[in-house]
Structure 1
Amino acid sequence: METALPKNDLKLEINNRQILSMSLPISLSLLVPFLNFTANNYFVSGLGEAALGTAGITGVYFLVVAVVGNGLNNAIQSLIARRAGENRLEEIGKLFSQGVRIALIFAAIGIALTYLLAPVIFNNVLQSQNVDKSAVNFLKIRVWGLPFLYLFQMGNAFLVGTNNSRYLMIGTLFEAGANIFFDYGFIYGHFGLPELGFNGAAVASVLAEAIGVVVVFGFILLKGLHARFHLFSYLRYSKELTRLILRISAPLIGQFSISLISWLVFYILIEHHGERALAVSNVMRNIFSLSGVFIWAFASTTNAMVSNIIGQGRSHDVHKLIYRIMKLSFTSALCMFILFNVFAHELLSVFRLSNEFVAAAVPVLRMVTTGMLLMSISVVWLNAVTGTGNTKMNLIIEAVTIVAYLVYIVLVLEVYKLNLIWAWASELIYWSVIFVMAFNYLKSDKWKGKVI
């Protein structure tokens, strides 16, 4: 969907058309990785409940190390959107080049830490020896996708920040198609490829991410965006810009890290309740990922648009923008809530597991989708905080929230040993605290005048 703005004017307007022109391509680009992730679990589920449960816990661990890319992505996106609002195109290229350099360094660190720490973590905290061995072997392959993932995220941050989100689908379509092909090939030994079983999913993901990066950067070159925004004109190291990027991204990396580490703790505690509980929770993560496709698209749009509007000197319009995006986000979540609950059994049956598994999962699904409604509101306000540039507040909000979250899940799962429904009620605690803190901060107007 083309923007109504002139080609050389990157300033955004506050209306539904502008919001949807950014968020819909983002949601479609997020939908493809979700289908990619679901395909992984679909093929892995053919190996049994134990493999599906292991896929859940390795997936959460990989999200923890991948979160550095998310932090950089959000920071670069916010900075690029701010420069776009100011119509400073040359600065966008400088930021992008330094972001790519930082991303590759962080990827190398993530690979090294995984080889050092993953065996220690999984061999000492998981009760099932089959699960911990499979998890470690899987991650030692999967982590080699980090450089490609981080670069892919940098490309996406550039496209969203410069109001070119309509091009996001190109790379994600190629990546998803490659992942499904290699999943089927490497897990079960089809298309002349070796049969690698569970580890085949890791190999498939790495190859697919590499293909995604080649396509995204190739498309940027093909469309001449690299020339318009001077992407490769300032490859020399810049201490000033590197410090700026790290200053904005470090709190976001911290925010996402402690959030996902707490989720890893959640899955470890779930594993103590048996393989079925772990498998059900992995399916719930699939459901949450599907609901998050549209919700996180609106969140990403909030980050970029708030930063762009502030860059235009229109801080007084930020609240108006947030409420408009929030309504659209909640409406999309409500539609999914109704759909998931009406067709709960059909949705869960997709994973080809027993009727007993489906019966155990349905009540949990009801709780998860309720949390999704609250998430659709809270995540918009949280990403508006990111858009203001005061990412330290993001970290503070997340830290306070995680304390409440961890206390709750430890009491529910370890002390009182309640069932899985109450464990997933933790999402209600998490998003409630997020909303209260982000809402109060933005209403205080303390963020006005923040320069990045």
Structure 2
Amino acid sequence: MKLGTSYRSILRVSFPIIIGSAAQNVVAMTDSVFLYYRSEDDFAAIGFVSAFYIIVAAIGFGFSRGGQILIAHYAGKGDKVAVGRSFYSTVYFEFVLALALFFFMTYGAYWLFALFVDSDVIFYKSLEYLETRKWGVFASYLGVACLGLYTGIARPGFIIVDTIILAVTNIFLDRALIFGMYGFPEMGIAGAGLASTIAEYVALFVFLIYMVFDRKNRKYAIGKLPKWDRKLIWEIIGLSVPIVAMSAVGLGSAFFFFGLVENFGERQLAVTNIVRIAYLILSIPAWGFCTGINTLVSYFVGKGQPHNVKVVLWKTAYMCLGITLLMGLPLVIGPRTVLYPILGDERAYLIEMAYPIFWVLLGILTTFSFGSIFFNGLIGAGETKKALIYQTLCAVVYMALIFIVVRSGWGNLTLAWSVEIAYWVLMFALSYRYFIRPRWDMYPEHMASGKSP
């Protein structure tokens, strides 16, 4: 593969990933929208428990990004055999990891939820959803390993098709299993979990069929199962553990946020879930560009061209901001026009209550566009330990401010959401400071050697 620093090259890599990165967002949003029509309790509960499950999904995705970075690095060097071995090492590890998370959700989720949730209704409905949703972790983790391969070699085109299949299957089954239509049983929130699980297995099966017939990947020996490569797996773990820790810290702070907002009351939690739906939609481009920048930065480091890294970082950030604002402004200007076709008039009062927060959300997405891109540039450059330090610092500041706002007498939901702007501003400042250091351009092989520039 050959990549450049032009906007067209960045978009060619990032656009299919943007669609593919929407997978978990689409699943979470679809579950939320259908449960919105069922009852306010179900809607509030899915906001909490899906925030937890996204953490589970992010753990698998984080390890796949370690594999993706390694795959892109070897692809940049032209080592085709190492690309295939890196992929299978990612698959092996993802399966073991999925097994561990499945057992945690089976035996540990009850005690974890009990620490955060005061409402019995939210607590038991969350467990009901997880009982059927947990089986999808195997399909999810093996699926992101496949995505890691095609993203790492900069051939992510089929990801668009597979994500569409996932979305269509999930929408049909959500409608069928939540409300008991087309001859299916009415399962409520448990049906939402089962629908998402089945949809992920369908998407994985389709992707595997595509890989079997994809002749272009045969040069990586994808059809041959290599032995368990302990050294390569440890390389992936070395890159991935900080990434996973960053996901756990970042999404854990979001889970912490939802747990604290529940103290405002079930109505405020439902309002927060309205905003979360908007956030899930509007953040799709940013997360796609983040994954794309991992590949681009890792590729240029592998080619020994670190001077191109800063070029693609700024161009990607500008492109991300432009697309995000293009999507976000209509929501702020006319939330009724945008959300009513999706959510209807069933609980229109929740949309009205959420309106002030939409303006805050626009500020979040603006700072998110720069902070997340530069931060993921660090990850793509192999500086995962440094990125973990930055993420942890930002999360600690964020959670401290959230705790103060929620627990104080003067705090409110709008102010609580505003804290995330400070989070992304701090993240951008730390990451930007790293890339403007003169030594960055003078040390092209720092990722391969494991040293910092």
Report if TM-score (shorter chain) is over 0.5. Answer: yes
**1:338-353 equivalences in 2 (<5 Å):** 338-349=329-340, 350-352=342-344, 353=346
The corresponding residue for 1:6 is none
**1:13-412 equivalences in 2 (<5 Å):** 13-31=4-22, 33-349=24-340, 350-352=342-344, 353-412=346-405
AA in 1 matched with 2:375: L
Residue range with higher mean Cα deviation, 386-395 or 119-128: 119-128
The corresponding residue for 1:443 is 436
2: distance between equivalents of 1:58 and 1:330? 30
CA contact (8 A) 2:371 2:427 kept: yes
Q: What fraction of aligned residue pairs are identical, expressed as a percent?
A: 24
2: distance between equivalents of 1:138 and 1:432? 35
Paired positions, count: 443
2: distance between equivalents of 1:317 and 1:180? 41
Q: Secondary structure at the match of 2:447?
A: coil
CA contact (8 A) 2:102 2:134 kept: yes
Residues 2-39 of structure 1: CA distance to partner in whole angstroms, max 9, x if unpaired? xxxxxxxx131111111111111122233465444332
Residues 146-175 of structure 1: CA distance to partner in whole angstroms, max 9, x if unpaired? 110011111111111111111211221211
Q: Secondary structure at the match of 2:140?
A: helix
Specify whether residues 32 and 386 from structure 1 end up closer, same or farther in structure 2 by C-alpha distance, changes over 3 A only.
closer
2: distance between equivalents of 1:197 and 1:228? 47
Specify whether residues 289 and 379 from structure 1 end up closer, same or farther in structure 2 by C-alpha distance, changes over 3 A only.
same
AA in 2 matched with 1:391: T
AA in 2 matched with 1:75: G
The corresponding residue for 2:451 is none
1: distance between equivalents of 2:137 and 2:185? 23
Residues 68-96 of structure 1: CA distance to partner in whole angstroms, max 9, x if unpaired? 11211221111111111111111110000
CA contact (8 A) 1:30 1:293 kept: yes
2: distance between equivalents of 1:407 and 1:123? 21
2: distance between equivalents of 1:283 and 1:91? 45
Q: Secondary structure at the match of 1:165?
A: coil
User: 1:235: how far off?
Assistant: 2.4
Residue range with higher mean Cα deviation, 414-423 or 107-116: 414-423
**4+ residue runs over 4 A deviation:** none
User: 1:334: how far off?
Assistant: 2.0
Specify whether residues 446 and 69 from structure 1 end up closer, same or farther in structure 2 by C-alpha distance, changes over 3 A only.
farther
Residues 97-125 of structure 1: CA distance to partner in whole angstroms, max 9, x if unpaired? 01000001000110111122211122343
AA in 1 matched with 2:137: L
CA contact (8 A) 2:32 2:43 kept: yes
2: distance between equivalents of 1:35 and 1:86? 35
User: 1:139: how far off?
Assistant: 1.1
Residue range with higher mean Cα deviation, 121-130 or 248-257: 121-130
2: distance between equivalents of 1:221 and 1:301? 25
2: distance between equivalents of 1:133 and 1:123? 10
1: distance between equivalents of 2:242 and 2:261? 28
AA in 2 matched with 1:441: Y
The corresponding residue for 1:7 is none
Residues 294-329 of structure 1: CA distance to partner in whole angstroms, max 9, x if unpaired? 111111111100110111111122111211111111
CA contact (8 A) 2:274 2:351 kept: no
2: distance between equivalents of 1:304 and 1:272? 41
1: distance between equivalents of 2:291 and 2:115? 37
2: distance between equivalents of 1:426 and 1:220? 43
AA in 2 matched with 1:117: G
Question: Which structure 1 residue ranges, 5 or more long, are not aligned?
Answer: 1-9
Residue range with higher mean Cα deviation, 358-367 or 121-130: 121-130
2: distance between equivalents of 1:261 and 1:272? 17
AA in 2 matched with 1:420: L
CA contact (8 A) 2:330 2:338 kept: no
CA contact (8 A) 2:24 2:54 kept: no
User: 1:372: how far off?
Assistant: 0.5
2: distance between equivalents of 1:291 and 1:428? 15
CA contact (8 A) 1:123 1:133 kept: no
User: 1:234: how far off?
Assistant: 4.6
CA contact (8 A) 2:297 2:381 kept: yes
AA in 1 matched with 2:301: I
Q: Secondary structure at the match of 1:192?
A: coil
Residue range with higher mean Cα deviation, 119-128 or 132-141: 119-128
1: distance between equivalents of 2:123 and 2:216? 45
Specify whether residues 421 and 218 from structure 1 end up closer, same or farther in structure 2 by C-alpha distance, changes over 3 A only.
same
Residue range with higher mean Cα deviation, 51-60 or 336-345: 336-345
2: distance between equivalents of 1:329 and 1:425? 21
AA in 2 matched with 1:437: L
Question: Which structure 2 residue ranges, 5 or more long, are not aligned?
Answer: 449-453
Q: Secondary structure at the match of 1:425?
A: helix
